[in-house]
Structure 1
Amino acid sequence: MSHEVTFSINKLPEANVNQPYLQKIEIYNAGAMPDEDQIQWEVTPENTGLTIKRTISETSRNGFFGGIEISGIPKFQGEITINIHGYGYSSYSGRKFNKTFHIKVNP
C-alpha cells in the first residue's frame, strides 16, 4: 500500500480570458487535515481573477480539509502558477506535500 501523497489531477485544464473557470483538486494520503493552515498556496502572478479556497475531503467523516477549489474569471492571457503545500497528521508520520500546477490562459 502506497503512503505517498498524491493529487486527483496532475495537470490543470486551460482557461480563457473573461470566461468562468472552476477546478477542484483533492489531496490523497496526506493524513488528517483539520486545520486551515495545513493547506497553503501561492499564486503567481497576483490579481489573476482566480480565487482559491480549501475544500472538505469527499471521504472525511470528520469534516476535515482535503483539497482546494480554484474558481473565478481569468483577467489576462498567459500562465498562472499555483503552488500548493502543507501537511497532514497520519499514524505513519506527518505527511508533507508540495506541488506546483500551471494554468495556461488563452485569449
Structure 2
Amino acid sequence: MREKHHQLESSLSAETRIKLDLFSALGDAKRQLEIVQAQLILKEQEMEELKQRIAEVMAVMPSTVYGSSGGPGGPGGPVCGCPQLPASPLDPNASVYQPLKK
C-alpha cells in the first residue's frame, strides 16, 4: 500500500511539474505575442504618418512637376513648364568640334 501511495505521489509530482512548465511556456508565449502586437501597432502608426506626409507633399507640389499627359510636364514636354528651346544643330556625340571659318 505504501509503495502504491509513493508511486501515486511521484506521478502527481511529475504531473504538477509538467503543468508548471506548460503554464510558464504559455506565459512566455503571451508576453512575446504582446511585444509583437505592440511593435505591429507602432509600425502601422508609422505607416499612417508617412502616408499623411506623402499626401501633404503631393498636395503642395505643382502639377507640372509630376506631370499630366496633356500639358507641360507631360511626356516629351518640359518638366519645369518653361518654353522649349530650339533644337541645336550640334551633334552631342561628337568628340571634337572645329571652329567655323568666316
| TM-score normalized with structure 2 length | 0.18
Structure with the bigger RCO (C-alpha within 8 Å, sep 6+) is 1
- Structure richer in helix, relative to its length: 2
- Structure richer in strand, relative to its length: 1
Larger Cα Rg: Structure 1 or Structure 2?
2
